[in-house]
Amino acid sequence: VSVAPAPVPPQVSALDLLDAMDGVCYLADTAGTILAAGRQNWPLHAERHESGWLRVENVVGRVLFDVISGDEVAAAYRAMHERVAGGLVPEISFSHRCDSPTIERHMRMSISAVRSQGRIAAILYQSQILEEIRRPPMFIFSPDALVRSGQQVREHDILHLCSYCHDVAWPIGQHAADGEWIRPGEYYARGGAEPAHVSHGICPRCRASIVDAAE
């Protein structure tokens, strides 16, 4: 009885795989430094950010949590990263929104441990588009409205937008955990003004269902 020889694995690099993967994909080390990024969907990701630095060639070597908008959101990603990097869970995944002014975009993020030779060698981030729906423009999703780090803006001029589900805190300047969070369409329906400044945060519902659920 002859046994078929085991197939020889193709010589592909991590970057080759990242380039072939669907969505915005990148590999970080266990401390959070971005090691490599797939080149397929980064123009999509960069579209939301006015500064050119969030292009694939500019994120490699940066610490992931430094490039995430909103301190609260960055802290939540750091906590999830540490759980996966520490081997407490093999993977964390959740659905999230990544709208542009004219596109309602539903996505799914997964954060998974990449194991090599018995240890966690890297953390893989993959964010895939599930659905895109065109709609009339909503300025709250304009990159120009996003408060940049170091920018001095009065708290009561800021509209708080949940980074995960895109609910907004009502009204502008409100950010209480027990306050009211509403859909963007409802914000405009109530006569909410086009805000000059938008900040990314986490609504109570997503804190419970995504951030706390990951702990």
Interacting residues with Zn ion (CB under 5 A)? 162, 164-165, 167, 203, 206
CA dihedral over 155, 157, 145, 22, signed as positive or negative:
positive
Residue from 81, 82, 75, 95 nearest 23 by CA? 95
Question: Quick one: how many helices (H) and strands (E) in the chain?
Answer: 6, 9
Nearer to Zn ion, 28 or 162 (CB): 162
Shortest spacing between CB 165 and Zn ion, in angstroms: 3
How many other C-beta atoms can be found within 10 angstroms of the C-beta atom of residue 4? 5
Shortest spacing between CB 207 and Zn ion, in angstroms: 8
> Residue 9 has what DSSP assignment?
P
Shortest spacing between CB 139 and Zn ion, in angstroms: 19
Nearer to Zn ion, 195 or 201 (CB): 201
Nearer to Zn ion, 58 or 100 (CB): 100
Burial of 55 (0-12, 13-18, 19+ CB in 10 A): middle
Tokens of 60: 């490699």
Count Cβ neighbours within 10 Å for each residue of 69-93 and write b for 16 or more, e otherwise.
Answer: bbebbbebbeebbebbbeeeeeebe
Nearer to Zn ion, 98 or 206 (CB): 206
Shortest spacing between CB 191 and Zn ion, in angstroms: 22
Tokens of 101: 């002014």
Shortest spacing between CB 183 and Zn ion, in angstroms: 10
Nearer to Zn ion, 42 or 141 (CB): 141
Nearer to Zn ion, 145 or 162 (CB): 162
Shortest spacing between CB 71 and Zn ion, in angstroms: 16
